[in-house]
Chains A and B, each alone.
Chain A
Amino acid sequence: MRSDAAVRSPWILHFDTGSCNGCDLEVWALLTPRYDVERFGMVNKANPKHADVLLITGPVSLKAAPRLKALYEQTPEPKVVIACGDCASNGVPFYDCYNVCGGIDQVVPVDLYVPGCSCRPEAIMDAVVQGIELWRKKVSGQ
């Protein structure tokens, strides 16, 4: 049950699965006056059941993997998953660490990858805008 208003304003859930905090800082920078992602209708919400877009950082440590899966399953369909940063995309620079899965896509399906270590706010914003488009397509069933 999604109204027209909901299509204009998807909500984000941000989760850190073991990143160095660099990308998380840039996610925070997005919410603050200079970048202000709210002008695209995005609001950061901590509840997975309210979320439409999952903004995930980090290479997924073994302990965080079941949590990430649970969050993904609790988010209602349709949803968009954005992997922020190099380590979220493929595990680099933590590729040879013993406690990481090596990327978000090892645990849950990913729609968009953001490059950079740490990724720049402009890059995340670009991904977020593309994510909104993708999410709208998913909502309208295309």
Chain B
Amino acid sequence: MVRTAIVPVGPQHAAFLEPFHLKLKVEEETVVGAEMSFGYNHRGMEHALAQDFKRSQYLCERVCGICSYHHASAYCQAMEDLYGLVVPDRAKFVRIIMMECQRLTSHLLALGHMAETIGYENLFMQFFREREEFMMLVNRVSGGRVHYSMNTIGGLRKDVTPDQLKDIALTVDRLEPKLLDLQAIVRKDPTMRKRLIGVGRLTKEDALDWCAVGPTIRGSGLEDDVRSHGFSGYGLDGVDFKPIVYQEGDCYARTMVRMDEVIQSLDLIRQALNLMKEGEVQTKFKGNPPAKEGYGRVEAPRGELMYWVRGKNEVQLDRIKLRTPALVNIPAVNAMIRGCRVADVPCITVSVDPCICCTDR
């Protein structure tokens, strides 16, 4: 008779960067269920963000350091919606460029983390070497490696210079062949394929049931990308975007979605650079947020990120609510993990790119 045993993992564990607790129910080598507990990273950001709407412009970047610019953009979009501001086109294009740069750093981190999880140290180092180039690029453009602090309500804090734009174009051209090489490795390498194909399958129905977003749902054959709805600059004339979808729904499909999106991001940066024109980068506004509601959403590296705000004619906001992509993707691990081997659990967890600071806030 097979007995059910419980294996606790975390909150401090080698396979995870961040603290969360996982209770695996196993029968010999097979996982029959999982229980997760969160809250190690809970700081109370929704309360802190509602205290001062101007301070929140930089505080919302501190919700998550991996997708900080996406948080800032989503918050600014929500506030612009509340004030009824129209953002200049140039600011929108700069937002596209910086968002795609951050998507590159985030996806290369996720891919490197995946390579490390399956024990492929060499590939991990290669991904991180290219990622460092982009970290230095955003540092040269914005002045920060992790938190850019470029956004403000109504546009950008300051314009980017022609030299910086040239720098971005040159870096993208220089790194494209290297990233294409890495794409070929992920596509063909037997280590990656053997370890990831067929592992942690998430069917289309399960993906919908668990409300997965981002690369997790796009790896299960569903076209769900906020960028195709055209928020911010993505809806402007001339920007050509098509979501990347894989049908298989396993860890390999999710990894390939990220890998292909890295190449797609380079293309989007180029498009934005070509379409950009001279002009204003900020629309001015006056006064405290009126008693209205504002709504903003962006496609963060992990999926749809939503901010909702309500003002009350004071410096404080009446309420701010944020729904982060990791919050819905991590529970979807429950559907993937059932019936897998214990050795595959880190792969499956990493394949949804968990971000505990987003989840707990």
Where the two chains meet, the residues of A that have a C-beta atom closer than 8 Å to any C-beta of B are: 15-26, 28-29, 32-34, 46-48, 58-59, 61, 63-64, 67, 71, 93-94, 96-100, 117-118, 120
Contacts and interface: CB of A to CB of B under 8 A. Distances in A.
Interface in B28-86: 39-45, 47-48, 51, 58-59, 61-66, 68
A63 B44 CA distance: 12
B47 A16 contact: no
Contacts of B27: none
- Ranked 5 nearest A-B pairs via Cβ: A22-B65, A46-B14, A32-B128, A21-B65, A22-B146
A28 B51 contact: no
B30 to A, nearest CB: 25
B19 to A, nearest CB: 6
A67 B40 contact: yes
Query: How would you classify the secondary structure of chain A's contact residues: helix, strand, loop or mixed?
Result: loop
Given A33-B125, A64-B11, A99 B43 contact: yes
Contact of B65 (A18, A24, A67): A24
B64 A64 contact: no
Contact of B17 (A16, A34, A117): A16
B147 A96 contact: no
Given A22-B147, A97-B43, 6 more contacts: A20-B68, A21-B18, A22-B62, A71-B12, A100-B43, A117-B147
B323 interface: no
A16 B65 contact: no
A34 B42 contact: no
Contacts of B58: 93
Interface of B: 11-14, 17-19, 39-45, 47-48, 51, 58-59, 61-66, 68, 109, 125, 128-129, 131-132, 135, 145-147, 355-357, 360
Contacts, number: 117
B64 A21 contact: yes
B147 A63 contact: no
Given A32-B132, A33-B128, A61 B64 contact: no
A18 B41 contact: yes
Contact of B43 (A28, A59, A117): A59
B40 A63 contact: yes
Contacts of A46: 12-14
A20 B356 CA distance: 9
A104 to B, nearest CB: 14
B32 to A, nearest CB: 26
A19 B39 CA distance: 12
A80 to B, nearest CB: 18
B48 A97 contact: yes
Contacts of B48: 94, 96-97
A98 B19 contact: no
Given A18-B40, A26-B145, A33-B128, A64 B19 contact: yes
A5 B238 CA distance: 62
Contact of B11 (A48, A67, A100, A117): A67
A5 B306 CA distance: 52
B43 A61 contact: yes
Contacts of A71: 12
B146 A26 contact: yes
B51 to A, nearest CB: 7
A59 B128 CA distance: 27
A101 B42 CA distance: 12
Nearest to A70: B12
Nearest to B41: A18
Nearest to B129: A33
Contacts of B47: 97-98
Which residue among B129, B131, B357 has the maximum number of chain A CB atoms within 10 Å of its CB?
Answer: B357
27 contacts: A16-B19, A16-B41, A18-B357, A19-B65, A20-B63, A20-B65, A21-B18, A22-B65, A23-B65, A24-B65, A26-B146, A32-B125, A32-B128, A32-B129, A47-B14, A63-B40, A64-B19, A67-B12, A71-B12, A93-B58, A97-B44, A97-B45, A99-B43, A100-B44, A117-B147, A118-B145, A120-B145
Contacts of A26: 145-146
Contacts of B135: 29
B42 A25 contact: no
A67 B145 CA distance: 29
A21 B102 CA distance: 14
Contacts of A24: 17-18, 65
Contacts of A93: 58-59, 62
Contacts of B355: 21
B47 to A, nearest CB: 6
